[in-house]
Amino acid sequence: MKKLLLIIPLLVFIFLMKGCKKDDKLPDPVSDAEGNSYQTVRIGDQVWMAENLRSTRLNDGTDIPLAGSPGTWAELAAPAYCWYNNDEPSYKNIYGALYNGYTVSSGKICPTGWHIPDKEEWINLGNSLGDSLKAGGSMKESGTEHWLSPNKGADNSSGFTAMPAGLRYFEGTFAAITNSACFWSSTENSDGDQWYAGLFYTDSSLTLNHRNKKHGFSIRCIKD
């Protein structure tokens, strides 16, 4: 009887420890249509990519056109991508690709089982990190190796590891590398512009704004 009384608490302890380990397990990496692998992170009840997308194919295997020249970028009203300053070796692995809003509208850029977050999912992410005025600090990669100083509030406590990939304007010029991170949402406004989430080196907020689809921003996918 004494042995049984000793064994029961031990079994309960082992069961609880196993349950904790299972709950604390990090989400598995995810691969895109090209086979690029991405680390993922659970934030609240959402699971996000923890790296910027760098796929040059849609999830049905279709190649996305590479629009290098400013003229080509400005004229396209169809899916397209580019590398910052058209310099793939310097920017691909760290910052990922920049995609226009038409790529988002295709609904096929994220891996199967994942999608472009809508505006509400970005809002929910900010709320899960406290509020929109501080969420950006929790999301940005800490330090100034990639972000311009002061990279205010950045501690990456969420594990999102936002990188300042800059953007491409609608007419084809590049800007804001090291200054800002802009991520597309899947939500359009009444004018046909696309909403995006922005993070900046000068403050710790998460902002939401909209631009026309000819802009080039980064993409982070969220699990279905």
pLDDT of residue 23: 42
CB atoms within 10 A of CB 141: 19
pLDDT of residue 190: 86
Domain boundaries, the chain: 27-223
pLDDT along the chain (224 residues), means of 10: 44 40 68 96 97 97 96 96 98 97 96 97 96 94 97 97 98 97 96 95 97 97 98
Q: How far is CA 191 from each of CA 3, 57, 93, 182, rounded to the nearest angstrom?
A: 73, 28, 34, 20
pTM reported for the whole predicted model: 0.88
pLDDT of residue 212: 95
pLDDT of residue 24: 54
What is the radius of gyration, based on Cα positions, of the chain?
20
Q: How far apart are CA 16 and CA 22, in angstroms?
A: 10
